Structure 1
Amino acid sequence: MYSFNQRTDTVVIDEPFYPIWLKRIGKVQPHYDEIMLSSQNIDANKIHDKIEEMEKMKGNIFVKNMANTVKDMNKNRILNYRPIFLVRNPAEVIVSHIKLDQSITGEDLCFEHQVKLYDWFQEQTKEDPLVINANELIKDPKSILTGLCDKLNLPFTNEMLSWPAGPKPIDGVWASAWYNAVHQSTGFGQPSSTKLTRDDVPSEFLALYDEVLPYYHKILSHSFLD
């Protein structure tokens, strides 16, 4: 999200459907009251309208979403979008997520949602959606982003490789809880010397890890560089 925000020809919006999802599942997460207050009287079609209006500002729009919010979108309208799936090792996702939310389920982790959404887009458009391996992106962001931009028919720019530290105007109201690490960053950073595995997942979350692992492997198999 921060990478695409550096492009002068692109406007960015942060998880616009998250408040609707949060209200639907009834789960209290950080900044819940503030999120609900900021999203009163909002519905999916109004969000799609906003996306289309913002796109006209610069010509392109990058919308960061979680795959579990697709139920809250208008599927006819998202067929106009180009989906990009960013896939991360579930051990890393779980270990990171439980620092803020110990009540996580497969619904929160989105791996099954990603697979179902990928298959649906493929069936509807007869094209393969774009899938990026997060670890490969961190290893060589210039190559991955160059390949991604080429597939999106956009020119790659070096500005996409770095950004200023700190909060951004595009951040959702939940940013202070979830974005601490990225707020300290000024780029993609260096890959970790150690790769988290099942052994690093706390025992109480091992069943969840085992549940989502097959979906992770399935969506990762579609990575355009794997």
Structure 2
Amino acid sequence: MRIAMWSGPRNLSTAMMYSFGNRADFAIWDEPFYAPYLAATGLDHPMRDEILAAHEVNPAKVATRCIDSIPAQKAHFYMKHMPHHMIYGMPLDWANECVNVHLIRHPARVIASYGVKRQEMTFNDIGYAQQAALFDKIGGHVIDSADIRTNPEKMLRKLCEAIDLPFEPAMLKWKAGPRAEDGVWAAHWYNAVHQSTGFAGAEGPLPELEGEAAELCAQALPYYERLAARKL
């Protein structure tokens, strides 16, 4: 099985990758199209030069690897993808060979979390419109990070059942620290998950946003709500 897990940034996506990566039968891959996206757009993201130097920038080569032999001779392959990386010209046919899952999170939480790591933020950066468009194109399952944090075992069992994969208790806990499969950008983005050994508990009230952040949230909310209506 090849799982393409699609989400915007700050969506519990790295914890989900660690969860599947803690299974003995899964190989994992961290944002394969990030370097091609940066190379194609010229955007100035944190650690841009290091990312371009360390990762494959040719999108055709990345797409081939998505459906090529699974690393380490594992039975299954989990790929963490971001919809906003799939700009015009990025190949997507490979996704037809995958089980596509869309991981979502309320935009108020995403915007508050993203703003801590990167002050400049645009609607394109958080990926809501791109994710909704991608779902319309390729379909798949939808799961909400809030539900996972509230009851990880229940939701991971539900996801595994939906995609016809046996649940493994190993998905609930992992060792603290980085993983060899982390993208080089982990040094900037992954400090919290590197301190974790499992999914954090349920989140409190939504953060209160003001000004441009509140406007971004209002713009993203209809896309989130449309996908949330389809969640497991």
**TM value normalised by structure 2:** 0.87
Query: Does residue 111 in structure 1 map to residue 128 in structure 2?
Result: yes
Query: Does residue 159 in structure 1 map to residue 170 in structure 2?
Result: yes
Aligned residue in 2 for 1:65: 81
- Compute the displacement of 1:54 (Å): 4.4
Aligned residue in 2 for 1:125: none
Three-state SS of the structure 2 residue aligned to 1:79 is helix
| Superposed CA offset, 1:76-113 (max 9, x none) | 22111111111001011001101121211111111111
Three-state SS of the structure 2 residue aligned to 1:213 is helix
1:127-146 to 2 correspondences below 5 Å = 129-146=140-157
Question: Contact 1:17/1:44 (CA < 8 Å) preserved in 2?
Answer: yes
Question: Contact 1:54/1:61 (CA < 8 Å) preserved in 2?
Answer: no
| Superposed CA offset, 1:143-165 (max 9, x none) | 11111111222110100001011
Three-state SS of the structure 2 residue aligned to 1:173 is coil
Query: Does residue 196 in structure 1 map to residue 206 in structure 2?
Result: yes
Three-state SS of the structure 2 residue aligned to 1:186 is coil
Query: Does residue 84 in structure 1 map to residue 101 in structure 2?
Result: yes
Query: Does residue 147 in structure 1 map to residue 163 in structure 2?
Result: no
Aligned residue in 2 for 1:217: 225
Could you list the runs of 5+ residues in structure 1 that have no partner in the other structure? 123-128
> Aligned AA for 1:195?
P
**TM value normalised by structure 1:** 0.90
Aligned residue in 2 for 1:48: 63
| Rounded Cα–Cα distance in structure 2 between residues aligned with 1:208 and 1:108 | 11
| Rounded Cα–Cα distance in structure 2 between residues aligned with 1:151 and 1:221 | 16
Larger radius of gyration: 1
Three-state SS of the structure 2 residue aligned to 1:150 is helix
The size of the alignment, in residue pairs, is 214
Aligned residue in 2 for 1:126: none
> Aligned AA for 1:61?
F
Three-state SS of the structure 2 residue aligned to 1:83 is strand
Question: Contact 2:66/2:94 (CA < 8 Å) preserved in 1?
Answer: no
Q: CA RMSD in A?
A: 1.5
- Compute the displacement of 1:118 (Å): 0.6
| Rounded Cα–Cα distance in structure 1 between residues aligned with 2:92 and 2:187 | 31
- Compute the displacement of 1:195 (Å): 1.8
| Superposed CA offset, 1:51-81 (max 9, x none) | 3334262121000011112235322221111
What is the percentage of aligned positions where both structures have the same residue? 34
> Aligned AA for 1:108?
D
